[in-house]
Amino acid sequence: MRPNVRRIAVAVAGFTAFLNLYAPQTVLPLFAEQFGASPGDVSLTVTAPTLAIAIIAPFTGAVADVLGRKRVISIAMFALVVPTVMAALAPGLSALVFWRFVQGLVLPPIFAVVVAYIGEEWPRHEAVSVTGIYTSATSFGGFFGRFITGLVADATHWRVAFLVLATLTFALALLVTLTLPMEHHFVRSTDLRVAFAHMGRHWRNRRLVATYAIGFGVLFTFVATFTYVTFLLAAPPFGLSPTFLGLIFVVYLGGSVIAPLTGAGVARFGRRPLVMRAIAVWICGLLLTLVPWLPAILIGLTISAASGLLCQAVSTGFVAVSADQGRSSAVGLYVTCYYVGGSVGGVLPGLIWNAAHWPGCIGMVVVVLLLMALLVWRFWADPPWGEPAG
């Protein structure tokens, strides 16, 4: 019974973090109307926390290597309530962006440290499947954060929606604090200098560096795809409304079904063959979105989401088992590279949109996926379970 409770606790932690991260996406038009701001200005409420995550993630890992896993996770989850409430009370757009940035600062101590906890507290052959469950929970959290915010905002006000998220976050933080066992296999760093020294060591681990680059590519492709497909679907011949465009994030739930199966997939095929196949399927899904038929595009997006979340689950778990010391800082560096990839993926495809539109964006992300496949093939040879992967 206890192992099941532990799995539920790490899943709830991941759900909570992503419940808040992307929540404002469904109410950006309301922000623009209330604050009299442009779409570019209100989009800062989404980019601010991702920027904060990229900045703080590696330092979070170093601190967690000193303070311990559960302590950092619990404190961060309760701390997340404060900026969520303050965002609901923000008098203007600048204040709202600021509190969203603060939210981003306390998110890596949740999801980056949870991944390190998984890598240490479960045997290697089980850690992959638990990471898959965790990744599935983050996907559900991302979807329901958007859904709850939009639903409550339509019924009352977006400020009330943020207060609902704050209340839910507090309840889930309490649940995790009461049910997540203290770590048993954690080896505490003696001081922060040792923890930061681990970060330098991670950059000398070729397998970890390659995995960081793969993480960069995963979110680059996700953001590039799901940002610019909205321009495709809003234009003729589709002409979809903003409400329907918001519903395309339902395709993420396909990945929530696939991610928990990663453990069985790795056991059957091995990490490298599994991810190589997932990338091939991912490319096929993206190419399917070039067909000028809405059902084909939606199927292609669903395939892309499932393939990407599978790659993310395997990559994240691989970081946790590849670092023989300083696992939190190793995962923190991965998270930084991951979110830097998302930031670049939101900007770079826009440079070719005017010239090549959606086919140009697809061409760009396919090149990125092919580079990811090369890195997987070169650096992801599967070691025996009992040997370190570094």
pLDDT tens per residue across all 390 residues of the chain:
455 788 889 999 999 988 998 888 777 667 877 898 865 577 778 778 888 888 887 777 667 666 667 888 899 999 999 999 999 999 999 999 999 999 999 998 887 788 778 877 777 667 777 877 887 788 788 888 878 887 888 788 899 999 999 999 999 999 999 998 877 665 555 555 666 666 667 777 888 999 999 999 998 898 788 777 777 877 788 877 656 766 777 877 766 677 667 777 877 888 899 999 999 999 999 999 999 999 999 999 999 988 998 898 888 778 867 766 666 678 778 888 988 887 777 667 777 877 888 999 899 999 999 999 999 999 987 554 433 333
Cβ–Cβ < 8 Å for 48, 100: yes
Cβ–Cβ < 8 Å for 118, 130: yes
pLDDT of res. 118: 83
pLDDT of res. 26: 74
Taking the model in full, what pTM does it have?
0.72
Cα separation, 375 vs 372, whole angstroms? 5
CATH number of the 2-180+195-379 domain: 1.20.1250.20
Cβ–Cβ < 8 Å for 257, 154: no
pLDDT of res. 242: 56
pLDDT of res. 296: 95
DSSP state of 92: S
